[in-house]
Chain A
Amino acid sequence: MPHVLCLRPIHPDAIALMRAAPGVTVEVLDPVTPESLSARIAEADAITVRITRIDAGLIAQAPKLRIVARHGVGYDAVDVEALTARGIPLTVTPDANAVSVAEHALMLMLTIARQTLGYHARTKAAQWGFPAELPTFDLAGRTVLVIGFGRIGGRVARLCAAFGMTVLVRDPYVPRNTIKGAGFTPADDLDAALAAADIVTLHCPSNSETRGLVNEAFLKAAKPGVVLVNTARGTLVDEPALASALASGHVAAAGLDVFAVEPVEPGNLLLKAPNVVLMPHSAAATAESMRRMAMSCAESILACFDGRLDPHVVVNPEVLRRNA
Chain B
Amino acid sequence: MVNENLVKDVVKEPYKYGFVTDIETEKISKGLNEDIIRLISTKKEEPEYLLNFRLNAFKKWQQMKEPNWAELGYEEINYQDIIYYSAPKQKEKISSLDEVDPKLLETFDKLGIPLTEQKKLTNVAVDAVFDSVSIATTFREELAEHGVIFCSISEAVKNHSDLIEKYLGSVVPATDNYFAALNSAVFSDGSFVYIPKGVACPMDLSSYFRINSGDSGQFERTLIIAEESSSVSYLEGCTAPMFDTNTLHAAVVELIALDDASIKYSTVQNWYAGNEEGVGGIFNFVTKRGKCLGNRSKISWSQVETGSAITWKYPSCLLLGEESIGEFYSVALTNNLQQADTGTKMIHIGPKTKSTIVSKGISAGHSKNSYRGLVKMGTKAIGAKNYSQCDSMLIGDQASANTFPYITSQQQNSEIEHEASTCRISEDQLFYLQSRGIEFEEAVSMMVSGFCRDVFNQLPMEFAAEADKLLALKLEGSVG
The judgment on whether A and B are partners is no
Question: Which residues of B pack against A, CB within 8 Å?
Answer: none
